[in-house]
Chains A and B, each alone.
Chain A
Amino acid sequence: MNGVHDMGGMHGMGPVVPEPEEPVFHHRWEARAYALTRAMAAFGRWNIDASRHQRELIPPAEYLRMSYYEKWLTGLTELLLRNGFITPEELASGRAAADAAKGTPALPAEKVAAFIERGAPASRASASVPRFQPGQRVRARNVNSAGHTRLPRYVRGKPGVIDRVHGVFVFPDTNAHFQGESPQHVYSVRFEARDLWGEAHSAAGAVYVDLWDDYLDAADGLPISTGRSP
C-alpha cells in the first residue's frame, strides 16, 4: 500500500537526532510490548509480513504521531482481537472473561533461548533458477498494490542493475494476506542515485534495494546512469 510507512525520499521529517547512551528500552512498557509481540507471534497464527502490514494500516496521522512501540502495541492489539486471543470486552475490562478457556503458552520461558537462536528463516529450499544474474539490467515494476508490499515507491519504474542473487524467499505480498508463501528469488538491485533522484543528486552514489522476482522486469539495453558526473 502507498502508506506513510514507505518513507524513502520524503522531505520535511526533520533532522536525525541521536541520543547518547540510549537505553535498549526507554520504559518498562516498551520492553513488555516488545516481548508480548514475540511471545504471541509464536502461536503461528500470523506471520512477520502480516504483522508488518498490521502496523502499516495505522492511519497516517497516527502512524507519524506514535512512538515506535506504540505502533507495535497497536498492531499486536489488532492481531490479538482479530484472531480471537482476546475479546473487546476483555480489553476494555483488563480482565479475562470469567468463562475463558485456559490455554498453554506457545513460548514458555525455557524455549526463549532456542527461539532467539533459531530465528525464523524466510528462505525456502528451491531448485528454481534465478531469472537474473549479477550485472544484468532490470527495471522495477510500477505496481501500486493496495495490500502489503516491500517494493518501495522510490524505486518503482526505475532502472537498476542486479548486484547479487540472495536466494529464494517467502514473498511478502501474498504471505501478509495468507495467500501462500509464493517463494521466489530475491536480488540486491543497485540503483544509481541520479536515476532515482535526478541530476542534482548524482554525487550521492547508489542505493541497493532487495527486490523479489515479481517486482522486476528485464531491461536489457536500458540506459543506466554511470555512477557520477563526467
Chain B
Amino acid sequence: MKSKDSHHSHHEGQRLPSDPALQVLALESILVEKGLVDPKALDALIESYEHKIGPHNGAKVVARAWSDPAYKARLLADATAAIAELGFGGLQGEHMVAVENTPAVHNLVVCTLCSCYPYPILGLPPVWYKSAPYRSRAVIDPRGVLRELGLQLPEECEIRVWDSTAEVRYLVVPQRPSGTQSMTEEELAGLVTRDAMIGVALVQSPQAGGPP
C-alpha cells in the first residue's frame, strides 16, 4: 500500500513506517541502542542460512540413503537420529520424519497454516512454498499443482500430501533415477534437488537434460 502514509510518518507521531525496509532499520537500531540485540548475532544468523544450511545438506542424506540400505532403513525408522548421523539437526528440524517415494506412492510436503519446513536439511523455504496458491491447493489439488510445476504422475500413482501442522518436519526421499548405478555418493548428492525433497519434482537421470 504505497499510499498517503508512506512518507516519513515518524515525524508525525505514532504511525509505523509503511516501508518495511525503514521499519526494520528502525527496530534494529532501537534494539541495538538498548543493548537487546547484538548486530553480529544477526550477521551470523543470516550467514548461516545464506551460506551454510541449505538443500545440499538434504542431498547428502538422500544420497546416503540411496547408497546404503542400512542407513535408509534407519532414516525411515528414525529420521531425526539418522540425519544427525550426518551432522544435521536443530532449529526447525528437531523432529524429523522421512517418507519414501516409490513407483506406486509419491509424497508431497506442505504447510497449509504457515510455512513449516525442515531448515537443517533444506534451509529456508522458497517464496512459492510459503505462498497462498501452494498452501491452499497442495491438499485439494496436488496433481494439478504438480502438473503446473512440470510433473505429470501416472494416474495409478497414489499421492500422499503431508501437511506440517505440528512440529514434525518432513523429508521426501525421492526415487533414485536409472543410470546411476556406478555413481559415488557424492555424485548422487549432486543430482538431488530441493524440489525433489519437497516432493514437487523427480530426480532426473544424469543423461536427461531435464524434464521431458
Interface positions of A (Cβ within 8 A of B): 5-11, 13-19, 22, 24-29, 31-36, 38-40, 43, 52, 55, 64-65, 67-70, 73, 76-77, 80, 85-86, 88-96, 100-109, 111-113, 115-123, 150-152, 154, 164, 166-167, 169-170, 186, 188, 196-197, 201, 203-212, 227-228
Contacts and interface: CB of A to CB of B under 8 A. Distances in A.
B81 interface: no
A94 B50 contact: no
26 contacts: A18-B126, A19-B128, A28-B21, A32-B42, A38-B45, A73-B24, A86-B30, A90-B30, A92-B9, A92-B13, A92-B15, A96-B30, A100-B34, A106-B36, A107-B37, A112-B44, A112-B48, A116-B45, A119-B94, A122-B167, A150-B113, A150-B166, A166-B97, A204-B141, A205-B160, A209-B165
Given A113-B44, A205-B159, A119 B140 contact: no
A196 B38 contact: no
A61 B20 CA distance: 17
Contacts of B91: 115-120
Contacts of B34: 85-86, 96, 100-103
B191 interface: no
A47 B182 CA distance: 48
Query: Which among A15, A70, A212 has the greatest number of chain B C-beta atoms within 10 A?
Result: A15
Interface string B125-148: 011101111111111111101001
Interface in B90-131: 90-95, 97, 112-115, 123-124, 126-128, 130-131
Contacts of A116: 45, 48, 53, 90-91
B95 A122 contact: yes
A15 B163 contact: no
B4 interface: no
B115 A68 contact: yes
B10 interface: yes
Contacts of A36: 24, 27-28, 31, 37, 42
Chain B, interface SS category: mixed
Interface residues of B, number: 83
Given A16-B128, A36-B37, A77-B16, A112 B140 contact: no
B114 A210 contact: no
A110 to B, nearest CB: 8
B25 to A, nearest CB: 7
Contacts of A188: 97, 162, 168
A17 B127 CA distance: 9
A19 B126 contact: yes
Contacts of B126: 18-19, 22
Most buried by B among A65, A90, A109, A116: A116
A119 B114 contact: no
A105 B35 contact: yes
